[in-house]
Amino acid sequence: MHVRHGAVSYTHTRIDSFIKSARYSSCHVFDKEVSCGTRHMQRKIAMNLLQRLARSESPKLKRPFRAMWGYALQSSGFSERIQLKRSQYTVPFFAKSNMALTLWVDPDHVDRAEEFVYHFLKPGDILIDVGANIGCVTAAGSLAVGDNGHVYSVEPHPQTFKHLQKTIAINQCRNVTSLNIALGAEAGIVNFTDERRKDDINCVSLSAESTIKVPCMTLRNLVDEHSILRIAVMKIDVEGFEMQVLQGAQSMLHKVDSIYIEVLEHTLQKFGNCSAEVFRLLQSHGFRCFYFKDDRSNVVAFAEHVGLRDWRSELVPISEAGRQVSDVWGHAKETGDGTSESGGSVGGR
């Protein structure tokens, strides 16, 4: 089975060979690169990470031995002394952050949300970053809107929120307000998962087992509390809780110019929702919804008065049924069974 990331292709067979060879070479590699304990611990770290890589389609497959090295740096705590220089900002190499490890392994990695936010925003704009994680989109947005603009950065998990605050401080983002809360359909308290290693998948939980309690408010509350008049971009990435966030924002969506939102069928289903419901809600408020040609997991929605600018060539429109449609741009046509003529389901990733 081939797993492709850009121009690089690795097979799971090749990863298996990495695992086997690591039994003999991992200690030698780590001895040269970093001092982090005994040979036994080094071997254990290498085996742990390679086995995880073999079962995933992680960007870390591009450079598995650098991923092993980074994981060792994080395990030793030494990574905290390292700052990851990005094109527009800096992120600390947090010891307990999967996102930071990804950036260490692939310094050129740019998330599509970060790219959209940075290029779409103008000086003086307002960005609301819902699910900010360690602050990559927040930092990019802070630079884009400048001193006369503002970013409201929302991250529920306490540990990840500390990382976010550190990123904001290091980059001197004085135009950012950070909020350690969850957003949902109604105010209250929610259960939140507490996975310390894979910080990029923590989310609201329907179970109280192995979770933490996090205060929750609605987007309408946030907008009213901070007297926000207009929002240029609202980015939402909350691991399946997107529908609930939008439900708590319905009375203020007329203030929003564009929404960048993650739409993954399997995560939405955890909360009894589906992508078609997300599209219907947005379209009922006058938004035009689009997939990216090369990434159906992310959707961008524009208010009627907002032009697509330079993004037109990268977008595929979504019909009122939540499906891909043909238009003057010449994209794939919708068929009666919910698939496009180019093959594959058009309702999900």
Domain boundaries, the chain: 2-79, 112-317
pTM beyond 0.95, yes or no: no
**Average pLDDT, rounded, for the chain:** 81
* pLDDT greater at residue 129 or residue 194: 129
What pLDDT, on the 0 to 100 scale, is given for residue 337?
Answer: 36
Residue with structure tokens 């966030």? 245
Contact 72, 83 (CB under 8 A): no
What pLDDT, on the 0 to 100 scale, is given for residue 211?
Answer: 87
What pLDDT, on the 0 to 100 scale, is given for residue 5?
Answer: 37
CATH topology of domain 112-317: Rossmann fold (3.40.50)
SS3 312: helix
The DSSP output letter for 345 is B
* pLDDT greater at residue 337 or residue 204: 204
Task: Work out the burial of residue 148: count CB atoms within 10 Å of its CB; fewer than 13 is exposed, 13-18 middle, 19 or more buried.
Answer: exposed
What pLDDT, on the 0 to 100 scale, is given for residue 60?
Answer: 65
* pLDDT greater at residue 163 or residue 308: 163
* pLDDT greater at residue 343 or residue 321: 321
260-289: pLDDT as tens digits: 999 999 999 999 999 999 999 999 999 999
Count other C-beta atoms under 10 Å from residue 182's C-beta. Answer: 26
